[in-house]
Structure 1
Amino acid sequence: MDEIIEHSEFGARKENKETILITGSSGLIGFSLIERLSKKYRVVGLDRLGPPYPPLQAECVNFDITDEKAIDAAMERIRYGYGSKIASVIHLAAYYDFGTKDSPKYQEINVKGTEKFLRQLQDFEVGQFIFSSSNLIYKPTEPGTKLNEDCPVEANWGYPESKIQTEDLIKEHSTNFPSVFLRIAGVYTDYGHSIPILQQIKRIYEKQLLGHFYSGDVNHGDVFVHLEDVVNAIEDSVERRQEIPDQMAFNIGEPTSPTYQELQDTIGNLIHGKDWETYEIPKPLAKAGAWTRDLVGDPFIKPWMIDRSGAHYELDVSRAKEYLDWEPKHRVMDTLPKMITGLKENPDQWYAKNNLEK
């Protein structure tokens, strides 16, 4: 006689937990966010078919954000399994490529894909829509002058331009639910993962001649933020969704920005025990060199990057402190020793984990 298996009457839909929907759920931020939020919420991940996959704490629903029929099918699966009420939608899915200044995918995925996704959400009871934007949408500033959320925006390449357009799109289309814009700085971890920092470390570790030259002002710098602090900011946004005014933007980054020279010297000392000599070169010369190298290979530094080298960003994060009770607990300059330790202890593993070629 076959054994009778009794199934629980309480499936995921009947759990006494609110539902969170995360797009781009298998990415760096999405993966960590699921591990955090699943302790309190039912989390559903939306992402492309195939690896990598989100952690097991979330159901993975495959969808193609460029295909409205695929989005509709994914949302019907969510409605069937979890109902039509979603506490928060966290929209992380986006296209990003350092290798190209402009790509049709910026419009196809970031802008038009979000528009299609928003249309499908109109049939759901959404408590909040969180959009992961970027600090790169701002017009660069000068050292000592911080950028607040009301500062002018200015995009000089495809990625930040798509973020500006998508913010405007959400303001226009998310009329049925409140929206939040998190303008996130360059994300790093204890092991690396920030592409600009990784490339800087790589050039110095390998003692590349190119690593001694920079086409921008070495006393300017970018703003960064640790992955753990980003996850904290998103969690805080979800927890305080009833209190945050609609369409409010928050800067999510560290309050101080290390200069390019400070990064160079710190990395040089950590790896080679001395400051790393760095020389500024004229942009036309740097662009000619980048163009030549691009003809014979696939270098990280592309000619279009030369124009924006030396752009300076400093963020005022006081609004996030006021409304989210959030402030970063990490500093990139304090984390660099951990990154370099990982590199020194096992270079092959460090390169592989950070998707770098030796």
Structure 2
Amino acid sequence: MGVLVTGANGFIGRALLLRLAAMERFRPIAAVRTLPISESVWSNSASIGEAVRYVELGDLAKGAFDSALLNDVSAVVHCAARVHVMRESGGDSLTSFRAVNVVGTLNLAKMAASAGVKRFVFISTVKVNGEATVLGEPFHADDLPAPEDAYGLSKLEAEQGLKQLAAKTGMEVVIIRPPLVYGRGVKGNFGSMIKLVEKEIPLPFGAIRNKRSLVGVDNLVDLIVRCIDHPAAANQVFLAGDGQDLSTPELVRGLAMAMGKRARLIPLPAGVLRFGATLLGKRALADRLLGSLQVDITKTRELLDWQPRHSVEEGLRRCFVTSYQEGRV
């Protein structure tokens, strides 16, 4: 079964291709914007180059790619996106997100439908649901969307366009909305947290009592693979998660344990931290560290007969393994 994966040199795309390359029933095709890609992208897998075919899509927003690339492709997993950047500013932010996340996505999906691709799996974001939840009241897959920033809005618009295309063409669409994705090689705020914990720097989160859902990249890949051809996944929206929510101090302790380090937590009140973060222009970061964002994956579990493959503890430990066994992510 031919599976085209976009964003093949990205964090999720790489992990997905490693898994697909190790499964005999799939013929993975790595789609990147330009070729050649650096061989260092696949430095943790000696044989992946033999199992994966590489193709160049170019600029999806311009729709200039060769439709022949979709010949003999049964499913597309669209991981490529313009991702959320917390420090981003400027009035044209939404326009930039729409060009890649909406126009580019729909250009690819229309071409896939015309080529007879059976299923299009779209990696969206929980930010389509919203930015935060009340403690103990998680988001559900079929809640009304409530995005609050340009990134979340662009992903919602792409989802809406894909659903309309599915209704017109019969191509099956599957939408997966992950919360924060972590794993070996993760960057961004999670990567920054790892560095602070590794240095055993005291962190002021000891009194925080929030809950946040995360998903290890290994669990997310496992869910994506299930969605590629599971009959019940067709035209559904799923939330992804590890099935165990953590407070910020629990996350710090979990990372410290995984690294064999000491967690140093200072119990400062959340109000004090929010005030200080606001003065420093870091209110958005404070909201993520101090607030709650929980997802309910009951629909994902029951409809797909799926369970997270790894516990949170195992997922955090796997952030620090020196290498993966090929395909066993």
**What TM-score do you get using the length of structure 2 for normalisation?**
0.80
- List per-residue Cα deviations over 1:251-306 (Å, max 9, x = no partner): 111222100122234445666535411423253431222x3xxxxxxxxxx55434
Quote the residue 1:70 is aligned against.
Answer: 64
Distance in 1, Cα, partners of 2:18 & 2:242: 23
Secondary structure in structure 2 of the residue aligned to 1:199 = helix
Q: 1:212 to 1:187 in 2, by over 3 A?
A: same
Amino acid in structure 2 at the alignment position of 1:28? F
Quote the residue 1:353 is aligned against.
Answer: none
Amino acid in structure 1 at the alignment position of 2:229? E
Quote the residue 1:218 is aligned against.
Answer: 208
Amino acid in structure 1 at the alignment position of 2:81? A
The alignment status of 1:149 with 2:141, answered yes or no, reads: yes
Asked if 1 retains the 8 angstrom alpha-carbon contact of 2:219 and 2:242, the reply is no
Give the number of the structure whose alpha-carbon radius of gyration is greater: 1
- List per-residue Cα deviations over 1:218-258 (Å, max 9, x = no partner): 21132111222112111111231xx2264211111122210
Asked if 1 retains the 8 angstrom alpha-carbon contact of 2:139 and 2:296, the reply is yes
Q: CA deviation at 1:119?
A: 2.7
Distance in 1, Cα, partners of 2:246 & 2:137: 14
Root-mean-square deviation over aligned CA pairs: 2.9
**Equivalent in 193, 205, 223 of residue 198 of structure 2:** 205
Quote the residue 1:313 is aligned against.
Answer: 293
Moved more, 52-61 or 319-328: 52-61
Quote the residue 1:86 is aligned against.
Answer: 73
Q: CA deviation at 1:341?
A: 8.0
Asked if 1 retains the 8 angstrom alpha-carbon contact of 2:180 and 2:214, the reply is yes
Distance in 2, Cα, partners of 1:133 & 1:247: 14
- Written as runs of structure 1 = structure 2, the 5 A alignment for 1:176-187 is 176=169, 177-187=171-181
Distance in 1, Cα, partners of 2:87 & 2:104: 20
Identity of aligned residues (%): 21
**Equivalent in 10, 18, 26 of residue 9 of structure 2:** 26
Distance in 1, Cα, partners of 2:251 & 2:110: 44
Quote the residue 1:3 is aligned against.
Answer: none
Q: 1:341 to 1:168 in 2, by over 3 A?
A: closer
The alignment status of 1:114 with 2:97, answered yes or no, reads: no
Distance in 2, Cα, partners of 1:48 & 1:321: 34
Q: 1:223 to 1:277 in 2, by over 3 A?
A: same
Provide the aligned length of Structure 1 versus Structure 2.
302
Distance in 1, Cα, partners of 2:261 & 2:295: 31
Distance in 2, Cα, partners of 1:21 & 1:334: 29
The alignment status of 1:170 with 2:159, answered yes or no, reads: no
Gaps of at least 5 residues in structure 1 are 1-17, 292-301, 343-348, 350-358
**What TM-score do you get using the length of structure 1 for normalisation?**
0.74
**Equivalent in 124, 127, 145 of residue 133 of structure 1:** 124
Asked if 2 retains the 8 angstrom alpha-carbon contact of 1:19 and 1:42, the reply is yes
